[in-house]
Structure 1
Amino acid sequence: MSEIENVMRSLTFEFFGGGKHKIKPNEFLAKDNALFLDVRSKEEANTLSFELLQHKIPVLNIPINEVPDRLEEIPKDRFIGVFCSSSVRSSIVYIYLRSKGYDNVLILEGGYNSIAEEFKPGKLLKTIKSKKQ
């Protein structure tokens, strides 16, 4: 039995109904030892990129079509939030990473709109103040 089949069998109604496959951006940005995995194309990432310096979270852009060839760049010892513009590519990469033994991986919920909310001045100021303490 292939690993992808095992992952597919775990994707039950309870799994999706309980939201076990996704995480809200504010929850992800508060995580320790996190990695923001951006699976958008190079063109998209070059147009709108993320650094997350104030959140102290590294960002890795690997377009979805390059993930299989660059899998070794994605650390298994970090909490991985997979991001794309609308969660379609994130969902595909989520399944792929799970099939490759990545246990601490979730889809960043909401795409651009949801993540942009976390970078508004009030929320960013709170983040900066909390990181200084």
Structure 2
Amino acid sequence: MSEKLDRKDDIFLLDVREGWERDISVIRDSFAVPMSEVPERIDELPKDKPIVVICRVGGRSAQVTNWLRAQGFENAINLSGGMNAWASEIDTKMSTY
């Protein structure tokens, strides 16, 4: 995933955490839509590129990924381990909570 971000591949990063969580840590170029708002904001999401769904540890993002797939977003992908995995494996300077 980090390699795709570095190469700026055509992916859409959907961060479904709450605003206060994004104040602690964020992946650059991610698009913020809290989990509870995803259904009402679904039209803001692209259907023509992979959507990588992000939360703190992967639980909320897994739920949103499954829901998006049921809505026809075949390219929805859960970021396993969420921000905590990203912080431990990719960006070790990133704050965790």
TM-score category, normalised to shorter length = 0.7 to 0.9
Higher relative helix content: 1
Q: Kindly indicate whether residue 23 of structure 2 is the aligned counterpart of residue 46 of structure 1.
A: yes
Equivalent residue for 1:119?
91
Separation of aligned partners in 2, 1:93 and 1:31: 23
Question: In structure 2, what is the equivalent of residue 35 of structure 1?
Answer: 12
User: Normalising by the residue count of structure 2, what TM-score does the alignment of the two structures yield?
Assistant: 0.81
Two-structure CA RMSD over aligned residues (Å): 2.0
- TM superposition score normalised by structure 1: 0.61
2:78 maps to: 107
Report the Cα offset of residue 112 of structure 1.
Answer: 2.3
The answer on whether the counterparts of 1:28 and 1:108 sit within 8 Å (CA) in structure 2 is no
After superposition, give the CA deviation of every residue in 1:27-62 in whole Å (9 maximum; x if it has no partner). Answer: 6536721011100011111232221xxxxxx31110
Return the offset for 1:109: 1.1
Larger radius of gyration, structure 1 or 2? 1
Count of aligned residue pairs for this structure pair: 91
Secondary structure, counterpart of 1:50 in structure 2: coil
Residues 48-92 of structure 1: CA deviation (Å, up to 9, x unaligned): 2221xxxxxx31110000000100111111111101001110011
Deviation at 1:120, TM superposition (A): 4.7
Gaps of 5+ in 1: 1-24, 52-57, 122-133
Alignment gaps of 5+ in structure 2: none
| Greater relative contact order (Cα < 8 A, sep 6+) | 1
TM-fit CA distance, 1:119: 2.3
Assess, with a 3 A threshold, how the Cα gap between structure 1 residues 110 and 31 changes in structure 2: closer, same or farther: farther
Give me the whole-angstrom Cα distance separating, in 1, the residues matched to 2:53 and 2:22. Answer: 14
Instruction: Give the 3 Å change call, closer, same or farther, for CA 81–74 of structure 1 in structure 2.
Output: same
Deviations 1:89-130 (A, max 9, x none): 001101110011001111001122321221259xxxxxxxxx
> In the alignment, what sits opposite 1:64?
35
